[in-house]
Amino acid sequence: MSSEFALGSAYTLTHELGSGALGTVYRGHDQQGRAYAFKLLRSEYAADPAVVQRFIQERSALTAVQHPNVVRTHDLVVEGPRLAIVMDLVTGGDLRNQLTQHGPLAPADAARLMASVASGLTAVHQAGIVHRDLKPENILLSPTPEGPVPQVSDFGIAHIAETSGSTRTSVALGTPNYMAPEILAGEAPTPTADVYALGIITYELLCGLTPFEGGHHMAVIRRHADMAAGRPPGVPDPLWGLLEAMLTKAPTERPSTHDVAARLSALAPVLAAAPAAARLSEPPAPVPLGGTAQATMLAVPAGQSGSSTPPTASAPMASATPTAPPGQRKRRKRMWVPVIALAVLIAAITTAVLALGGNDPETNADPGETSSESTSPDSSTVEPATNEPAEDSSEEPSDDPSPEPPREMPEVVGLPLGTAMAELEGVEVTTIPEIHQDVPNNEVIAQSVAEGEDLPVSVELTVASQPATVYLAMLDEVDDRNMSSEGAQIDAEDYPRSVVGAWNSGYIEYNLSRSYQQLLATVGRVDSASDAADEVQVTIFLDQREVWSERVSVGSPAELDLDVTDALRLRIEYTSLQDNRSEVALGDARLLGVPGEIPDETDE
Ligand code: ADP
Ligand code: MG
């Protein structure tokens, strides 16, 4: 979108550069004409006081980081409904473009580039910030006469967004392809989580793919926890050794970014002769971590047990989770649709992993401990401690001496989803997010199978989600007459994002694309109304059905609270009863929906 708008009094934003999970990035300039990039956080973050508070707290830490390999953050701006991060404009694209256009890098080039990225990250860590969301999209390339210089962007922003009541965000923000197992398990990340991500990116630079990608994100998460990366052809020994260290599951055993930078720089000349490898179409098969118990338990459907997994066999996992064909690799944005659903899933998996493994999160990162603790006391078998429902397909006279009785569906309403999932172990659970402001995020609010029924193969759980908010004023209308987006004052209250009519009658219509669940507004005559005695009838239609109609006069606004679930069209009409020009406003009219299910609120 190319219409200019102001950010505070200091900046003018001129056009959109793109958008990601957390917001939209614009190009713009200050009053002196200096160019910057501006990241405007999504409205649900800007509307969340906890996020705003964290945003303000982090300002000085973020703006303090200065390093040639870091995108400089100049300012964090809170302006009315907006949270904006003002940063260097970097014009050479990002590492993702680079990879897409030119394919894998020669090992020496990858080492040099990632050494620079690692030194940039060292500066970030020295400021007390863990990046948390490192991926090729967040390594921008700054063109210089000596060639493109990589710069780390978006550090610390995941941490700000994570405060949001609407998500268990640390794991929900983006792709799990680069996320360290401890983050995926819900632990607080330490700087070596970034080293893990650096290791994954380096791996991708060398062969074109990340080691654990493919199939459902749950499968990706499991592989991060249970599998070691397969070695791609053409990666020289010393570089592979370093990569293995960076990808160690235990965070404390990984090298620091400082070490990584030094070792990669030292390696670059040694690798000079090694050519770039061919782009792989599928990652090399990941290798189960020493011992098979944990991986097998999680990967093999109920009733099967793989007591010995041959070294090459990631077979059970591969067949359960087909790798996406190469043509299916898209930019992440569109694939990561329901942020909440994802958060919920990950929470669930985390819990399921913990429940199955019986280990606590503290020790979860250590593969050695995990696999020894996760088997039942009789550790010669790899059966999960708890029985699966389908276990009775007793082809093989089971070595389990006491099969448990058939289970009943438990009552899980009111439980956090993770706990519910643990109780429903072995059952396929589908979650349906429903927005609730007053119910804790991820709490189960309904179950499709009643308590006491036979435990089914699959069950649907309705799960509370904090809503995301989109103001009508930020949506493009599909049609309108005598109505527009403006600020308004009703009964001495300011409603900066309102829909206002100021004629005898008029209407406005929006496409809701079945993406929202609730419409809220304060409907009233504006305080500056020219004919204060007039009354205005305001009527609302959803898909051409009248669902609400109220007569409002100065001093007596009406509260609008409508269920708009599944509605395609929203039409708002008003008519002055005296047939005067009579200003009426839907103050701060806003749609609530499940974060991630609603379309990007900005025009595209
Ligand atoms: P993501 O990192 O998930 O791709 P972002 O919201 O960070 O999403 O970025 C959106 C788009 O804006 C991307 O195309 C990115 O390259 C671009 N962008 C982000 N920061 C800058 C910047 N400082 N300078 C120039 N372009 C940027
Ligand atoms: Mg980014």
Cα of 259 from ligand 2 centre, angstroms: 25
Ligand 1 in contact with 187 (CB < 6 A)? no
Ligand 1 in contact with 17 (CB < 6 A)? yes
Ligand 1 in contact with 16 (CB < 6 A)? no
Using most ligand atoms within 8 A of CB, pick from 137, 169, 332 the residue to mutate for ligand 1.
137
Taking the C-alpha atoms of residue 573 and residue 588, their distance in angstroms, rounded to an integer, is 16
Last residue of a domain, one of 402, 433, 466: 466
Atom number in ligand 1 closest to CA 19 = 10
- Burial class of residue 395 (count of CB atoms within 10 Å of its CB; 0-12, 13-18, 19+): exposed
Cα of 31 from ligand 1 centre, angstroms: 23
pLDDT band at 457 (very low <50, low <70, confident <90, very high): confident
Using most ligand atoms within 8 A of CB, pick from 1, 11, 16, 17 the residue to mutate for ligand 1.
17
pLDDT band at 343 (very low <50, low <70, confident <90, very high): very low
Q: Which residues surround ligand 2, an ion (CB under 5 A)?
A: 138, 154
Ligand 1 in contact with 37 (CB < 6 A)? yes
Q: pLDDT (tens digit, 9 = 90+) per residue, 215-255?
A: 888 889 889 999 999 999 999 999 999 999 999 999 999 99
Residue 603 tokens read as: 């025009």
pLDDT top residue among 512 and 396 = 512
Ligand 1 in contact with 89 (CB < 6 A)? yes
Residue 421 tokens read as: 């999932």
CB 326 within 8 A of CB 281: yes
Specify the residue with its C-alpha closest to ligand 1, atom 19: 25
Cα–Cα nearest to 199, from 184, 221, 180: 180
Residue 35 tokens read as: 């160019």
Statement to judge: residues 458 and 486 lie in one domain: no
Domain span including residue 524: 469-602
How wide is the angle at C-alpha 128 spanned by C-alphas 126 and 130, nearest 5°?
A: 100
Taking the C-alpha atoms of residue 333 and residue 21, their distance in angstroms, rounded to an integer, is 7
Pseudo-torsion of CA 339, 163, 40, 96, nearest 10°? -60
Specify the residue with its C-alpha closest to ligand 1, atom 18: 25
Domain containing residue 297: CATH number:
1.10.510.10
Task: Tell me the average pLDDT across 278-291.
Answer: 88
Specify the residue with its C-alpha closest to ligand 1, atom 8: 20
Cα of 24 from ligand 2 centre, angstroms: 9
Could you give the number of structural domains in the chain? 3
CB 209 within 8 A of CB 286: no
Statement to judge: residues 460 and 522 lie in one domain: no
pLDDT top residue among 450 and 174 = 450
Ligand 1 in contact with 88 (CB < 6 A)? yes
Of 44-53, 352-361, 556-565, the range with the highest mean pLDDT is 556-565
- Tell me if 118 is assigned to some domain: yes
The number of helix segments (H) and strand segments (E) in the chain equals 17, 24
- Tell me if 10 is assigned to some domain: no
Taking the C-alpha atoms of residue 250 and residue 475, their distance in angstroms, rounded to an integer, is 46
Specify the residue with its C-alpha closest to ligand 1, atom 14: 18
70, β-bridge pairs: 152
Statement to judge: residues 438 and 540 lie in one domain: no
CB 550 within 8 A of CB 523: yes
* CB count in 10 Å sphere of residue 270: 14
Give the helix, strand, coil percentages of the chain, each rounded to 5.
30, 25, 45
Statement to judge: residues 495 and 559 lie in one domain: yes
Q: Is the dihedral of CA 576, 582, 583, 587 positive or negative?
A: negative
pLDDT of 422 reads 76
Cα of 231 from ligand 2 centre, angstroms: 28
* Global pTM exceeds 0.75: no
pLDDT of 339 reads 37
Statement to judge: residues 204 and 297 lie in one domain: yes
98-136 burial string, b = 16+ CB within 10 Å, else e? bbeeeebbbbbbbbbbbbbbbbbbbbbbebebbbbbbbb
Ligand 1 in contact with 96 (CB < 6 A)? no
* Residue 31, CA atoms < 13 Å, CB-side half-sphere: 3
Cα of 24 from ligand 1 centre, angstroms: 8
Ligand 1 in contact with 133 (CB < 6 A)? no
Ligand 1 in contact with 138 (CB < 6 A)? yes
**Res. 315: pLDDT tops 70:** no
Statement to judge: residues 434 and 501 lie in one domain: no
Ligand 1 in contact with 87 (CB < 6 A)? yes
How wide is the angle at C-alpha 217 spanned by C-alphas 212 and 220, nearest 5°?
A: 20
Of 91-100, 183-192, 363-372, the range with the highest mean pLDDT is 91-100
Paired sense of beta strands 569-576 and 535-542, if any: antiparallel
- Tell me if 401 is assigned to some domain: no
pLDDT of 300 reads 29
Atom number in ligand 1 closest to CA 138 = 2
Statement to judge: residues 164 and 300 lie in one domain: yes
Specify the residue with its C-alpha closest to ligand 1, atom 13: 18
Catalogue the active-site residues.
133
Statement to judge: residues 206 and 172 lie in one domain: yes
Statement to judge: residues 459 and 473 lie in one domain: no
Element (H, E) at 46: helix 43-46
Taking the C-alpha atoms of residue 468 and residue 167, their distance in angstroms, rounded to an integer, is 10
pLDDT of 156 reads 86
Taking the C-alpha atoms of residue 314 and residue 228, their distance in angstroms, rounded to an integer, is 11
Atom number in ligand 1 closest to CA 133 = 2
Q: pLDDT (tens digit, 9 = 90+) per residue, 21-80?
A: 889 999 999 999 999 999 999 888 888 878 888 888 888 899 999 999 999 999 989 887
Statement to judge: residues 429 and 298 lie in one domain: no
**Res. 143: pLDDT tops 60:** yes
- Tell me if 152 is assigned to some domain: yes
Cα of 185 from ligand 1 centre, angstroms: 27
Residue 403 tokens read as: 């099969």
Q: Mention every residue, 6+ apart, whose C-beta is less than 8 A from residue 24.
A: 16, 18, 39, 40, 42, 600, 602
**Res. 13: pLDDT tops 50:** yes
Statement to judge: residues 475 and 462 lie in one domain: no
**Res. 81: pLDDT tops 90:** no
- Tell me if 7 is assigned to some domain: no
**Res. 435: pLDDT tops 70:** yes
Statement to judge: residues 167 and 101 lie in one domain: yes
pLDDT band at 433 (very low <50, low <70, confident <90, very high): confident
- Tell me if 278 is assigned to some domain: yes
Taking the C-alpha atoms of residue 3 and residue 25, their distance in angstroms, rounded to an integer, is 14
Ligand 1 in contact with 175 (CB < 6 A)? no
* Residue 481, CA atoms < 13 Å, CB-side half-sphere: 7
- Tell me if 405 is assigned to some domain: no
* CB count in 10 Å sphere of residue 586: 31
pLDDT of 596 reads 67
Q: pLDDT (tens digit, 9 = 90+) per residue, 461-488?
A: 888 887 888 899 888 899 999 999 989 9
Atom number in ligand 1 closest to CA 174 = 3
Q: Is the dihedral of CA 314, 319, 320, 323 positive or negative?
A: positive
pLDDT top residue among 95 and 581 = 95
Q: Residue 591: which region, alpha, beta or left (left: phi > 0; alpha: psi -120 to 50)?
A: beta
Specify the residue with its C-alpha closest to ligand 1, atom 11: 18
- Name the DSSP class of 208: S
CB 466 within 8 A of CB 166: yes
Q: Is the dihedral of CA 160, 164, 166, 167 positive or negative?
A: positive
pLDDT of 399 reads 45
Q: What one-character-per-residue DSSP string does 528-548 give?
A: T-SSTT-EEEEEEEETTEEEE
CB 365 within 8 A of CB 353: no
Cα of 225 from ligand 1 centre, angstroms: 29
Taking the C-alpha atoms of residue 340 and residue 435, their distance in angstroms, rounded to an integer, is 10
Q: pLDDT (tens digit, 9 = 90+) per residue, 273-282?
A: 999 999 999 9
Cα of 19 from ligand 2 centre, angstroms: 8
Domain containing residue 583: CATH number:
2.60.120.1060
Cα of 154 from ligand 1 centre, angstroms: 8
Task: For tokens 């708002």, name the residue.
Answer: 572
Using most ligand atoms within 8 A of CB, pick from 88, 153, 331 the residue to mutate for ligand 1.
153
- Tell me if 364 is assigned to some domain: no
